[in-house]
Structure 1
Amino acid sequence: MTGKISSEWLAVIFSLAVIICSCDTTGSKEQVQIESEPAISCMKVPPRFGSAAVTGLADSAVYRGDTAAGMVLIPGGSFDMGADNEQASPDEYPKHTVRVDAFYMDITEVTNAQFQKFVEATGYITTAERMPDWEELKKNLPPGTPKPADSLLVAASLVFKQGSGPVDLNDYSQWWNWVSGADWKHPQGPAGNILGKENFPVVHVSWDDAMAYCRWAGKRLPTEAEWEYAARGGQKNAVYPWGDEHINMGAAKANSWEGKFPYLNEVRDGYVKYAPVKTYPANAYGLFDMAGNVWEWCSDWYNADYYQSVANGKSVNPTGPQKSFDPQDPYTPKKVLRGGSYLCNDSYCSGYRVARRMKSSPDTGLEHTGFRCVKDFDGK
């Protein structure tokens, strides 16, 4: 099944909708409309609606190779975490001092080739490849949410579809299609595959999938603080991983949406959708794609007021709040994502800013969502 999301399914999507990118603060017409409709954001993305159950891995199912290969040591230090410019959203305030210990980080997002090794070694089945469980889903829905048609409760994921003209940016069904058979091996649906794209970031992976991969690889997901610290590359209060030069100025610095979302992409960066890893320059720590390409999962729960709770004094190796709370969607627990994707631009989203905070339910996996891993530094 491929096509525009039905009205019944769309009702469930709006109930579960997650903000992947907050509105800009430029006073655009879209922003005024959104402020008058607080339940709808300018860049809401529906969760994938996967089963809450996670396929376990045996303790012996751990990668035995060099786990530090393809990683770089990020030196420990202190930085000011949070809002850097006028595009900042409320959950990026207040800016506060954080210290993190040294750690290793993957220099790229996890690729299709890397994820395939994991699947071949473990037999793991991703969230998008499993049928959604309505009994689990409704636990995170507002009371009284109607059950969607059984024909929609199939193994599927959400695939981006470029439009032909301007659309209501509050209605994300205009550019997301619920596609049966879409998963990490078939990013656009069952007719496609990843042959020749071994060096592209793996997508359609949920937080649960990313955690399973990390466990197998002997690594973990970065905390939100570690991710932002690494993305800044040692720069103080810079807006982007490369500094303060606007993303659309000069040579291509990241994979983003250049033009008018979601129908006109000028493709100045060379790609309509996601690009191979290492396509654009690394930041000062040697990390690629810390802006754009695909969103990256972090380990932390998302709480809109978390920065306020840690603003007094210095946080040392913070791991985030104890529980999730999103006032715009209080029924659904969410995890943090960072870094933006190929769908971000300033008129719709500025997710490529290093301070931008995003969130989604742990079972969400879409065509623009991936991850990278970190590993503790043992001091040797």
Structure 2
Amino acid sequence: MTRHLIYLSIVTAALAACGGTGKTPVQQDTTTAAVGGTDTLNHMVLIPGGRFSMGADDSTGMPDEYPKHTVKVDSFWMDEHEVTNQEFAAFVAATGYVTTAEKPISKEELMASMPPGSPEPDSSMLAAGALVFTPPDHAVPFNDVSQWWSFVAGASWQHPEGPGSDIKGRENHPVTQVSWLDAQAYAKWARKRLPTEAEWEYASRGGLSNQLYPWGGEALTAGQPKANTWNGNFPYKNTKTDGFTGTSPVKSYKPNGYQLYDMSGNVWEWVADLYDANYYAQAGQDASNPTGPSKGYDPEDPGQQKHVIRGGSYMCSDEYCRGYRVSARMKTTPESGLANLGFRCVRSVANR
């Protein structure tokens, strides 16, 4: 499926919604080993392997977060924060890589992805670009996300809001508008990989068992801001209680027990696994290093293969999207690039 057709289906799919056995001392990789021809800017921390209960911790989860099941993961290294604009720029400078959002497509390619009998697209659907958050100034129904998402020609990782924007001053913010394909390309260049969904949730829990959030069970709104999420009334009023209306610099909030930052909020994060709404029911107990289903299935869009995204974003709130819970799952197609979607990488211990 081309990314342009994604813009027609994503609004009814990935954007509609918007614990360990005990803490183990965390090791941090403080070396600056050459990666892809440049020094890495993102330290990795060692996540000690173990068993944990994967899935929703209470009755407020979505159906695809059940049943809760036991999973074992081996130790692995994980980026302490989301890949930043500065890091992604180093990758592009070294390789000349062109992201999905920066590539126009042909009418024939788009038509091949659409249902038989679909009308021919106009030229605007063939332009390079991406989805940009364009909030209204008034309340709107939550079931119509076109009220706050717009396709903008020329939007890309370098111009997240469109041609009139850039990333100057945001070098230390997470890169956005990158597809799963782009994230995979970066990870390969960096001699890393995307985390499995099980690895991501295990790491997000930070050594805690049966807690809703990376920091434990305390409500997101209690005390000091804990993550970059939506404050106020979504999508038209953001009170900026946490200090930000869009992305925030990485490491702006306290890390979890494994010294990982932004495992909740800021931007959604790609993981390696395909998405199947029924996967947890089929996985069984005590799976070892699961890598997800062999084939994806989204009942809301059964014709498209999608990948899981995790962690929530600056657009999540209790009234609209509770994606900042450690068990929350969302999904989108691998060509998708969004203004609130990025990634972080991992590396197997054997490959260090």
SS at match of 1:78: strand
Q: Is the 8 A contact 1:18 1:359 kept in 2?
A: no
- Unmatched 5+ stretches in structure 1: 1-9, 22-40, 44-61
State the 1:163 CA deviation: 1.4
Q: 1:242 aligns with which of 211, 215, 225?
A: 215
Q: Is the 8 A contact 1:166 1:263 kept in 2?
A: yes
Tell me which residue corresponds to 1:293.
266
- Structure 1 pair 139–245 and aligned structure 2 pair: CA distance change class (3 A): farther
State the 1:132 CA deviation: 3.1
Q: Is the 8 A contact 1:16 1:329 kept in 2?
A: no
Tell me which residue corresponds to 2:313.
341
**Matched ranges for 1:292-311 at <5 A:** 292-311=265-284
How many residues align? The count is 335
Tell me which residue corresponds to 1:79.
52
**TM-score with structure 1 setting the length:** 0.84
Q: Distance in 2 between matches of 1:133 and 1:320?
A: 33
Is 2:186 the counterpart of 1:213?
yes
2:276 aligned partner, one-letter code: N
Q: Distance in 2 between matches of 1:291 and 1:104?
A: 19
- Unmatched 5+ stretches in structure 2: 19-34
Is 2:326 the counterpart of 1:354?
yes
1:316 aligned partner, one-letter code: S
State the 1:139 CA deviation: 4.7
Q: 1:373 aligns with which of 329, 345, 348?
A: 345
1:315 aligned partner, one-letter code: A
**TM-score with structure 2 setting the length:** 0.90
Tell me which residue corresponds to 2:14.
20
2:150 aligned partner, one-letter code: N
Instruction: Report the identity percentage.
Output: 53
State the 1:168 CA deviation: 1.6
Tell me which residue corresponds to 2:296.
324
Q: Distance in 2 between matches of 1:100 and 1:11?
A: 36
Q: Distance in 1 between matches of 2:6 and 2:349?
A: 43
Q: 2:118 aligns with which of 145, 149, 166?
A: 145
- Structure 1 pair 205–97 and aligned structure 2 pair: CA distance change class (3 A): same
Q: Distance in 1 between matches of 2:260 and 2:306?
A: 26
Is 2:103 the counterpart of 1:109?
no
How large is the RMSD of aligned CA atoms in angstroms? 2.2
1:321 aligned partner, one-letter code: P
Is 2:73 the counterpart of 1:100?
yes
Tell me which residue corresponds to 2:28.
none
SS at match of 2:350: coil
State the 1:13 CA deviation: 4.1
State the 1:121 CA deviation: 0.3
Q: Distance in 2 between matches of 1:234 and 1:93?
A: 21
SS at match of 2:172: coil
Q: Is the 8 A contact 2:38 2:90 kept in 1?
A: no
Tell me which residue corresponds to 1:275.
248
1:101 aligned partner, one-letter code: D
Q: Distance in 1 between matches of 2:231 and 2:193?
A: 33
Tell me which residue corresponds to 1:121.
94
SS at match of 2:124: helix
State the 1:378 CA deviation: 2.1
State the 1:19 CA deviation: 2.5
Tell me which residue corresponds to 1:50.
none
Q: Is the 8 A contact 2:159 2:166 kept in 1?
A: yes
1:324 aligned partner, one-letter code: G
Q: Is the 8 A contact 1:12 1:146 kept in 2?
A: no
Q: Distance in 1 between matches of 2:8 and 2:150?
A: 14
